[in-house]
A = this chain, B = another copy of it.
């Protein structure tokens, strides 16, 4: 029978994904070799192919796992009543979720062009799905008359870009806590949508 306890594959598999995530984020997918990943894991390059079909799948799986977790975590949150409360929740959630996973976020935004056509379409669909979550909130707010934007789609893109931008400058241990940053950004989001 197959080994149950102490199986190496249950240790090496996650290590491969973790090493790939870290190296892809630091140097870019195309600039990282399978041998670099293997060295980081402490294994020969050939062994990686027990855990991934090829390099492309390694990238795609990391991206899809990230997007799946993003959508699942947002959907699992308790939903508050009013559109404005929901918008605040989205802003705070987005910042916290993204600041907690800088490497995965970086890859999901920067390595889209290294995906095959099929894989790109799949990731892009998930991203659109996430954007729809915000757009639904903005539309509800618009219908309720509590926010004022001339174009819901543009406002969606503007808010997401603004929030995701935090990842480019925020550093742990800086002068502001995550919560303080989220509070300030929530104020700016509210202003941007005229609420």
Chain A contributes a number of interface residues (CB within 8 A of B) equal to 36
- Does A76 lie at the interface of the complex (its beta carbon under 8 Å from any beta carbon of B)? no
Contact with B along A162-195 (1 / 0, CB 8 A): 1011101100000010000100110111011110
Most buried by B among A110, A159, A162: A162
Query: A80-91 vs B: 1/0 string, CB under 8 Å?
Result: 000000000000
Residue pairs across A and B with Cβ atoms less than 8 A apart, 24 shown, are A28-B28, A28-B30, A30-B30, A149-B188, A151-B176, A151-B184, A154-B176, A154-B184, A154-B185, A157-B165, A157-B168, A158-B162, A158-B165, A158-B185, A159-B162, A161-B164, A161-B165, A161-B168, A162-B162, A162-B165, A162-B192, A187-B194, A189-B192, A191-B193
Not counting A154-B176, A157-B165, A158-B162, a sample of 17 additional A-B residue pairs whose C-beta atoms are within 8 angstroms of each other reads: A27-B113, A28-B28, A30-B31, A31-B114, A149-B184, A149-B188, A150-B184, A150-B187, A154-B184, A155-B188, A157-B166, A158-B188, A161-B161, A161-B162, A187-B194, A188-B193, A191-B193
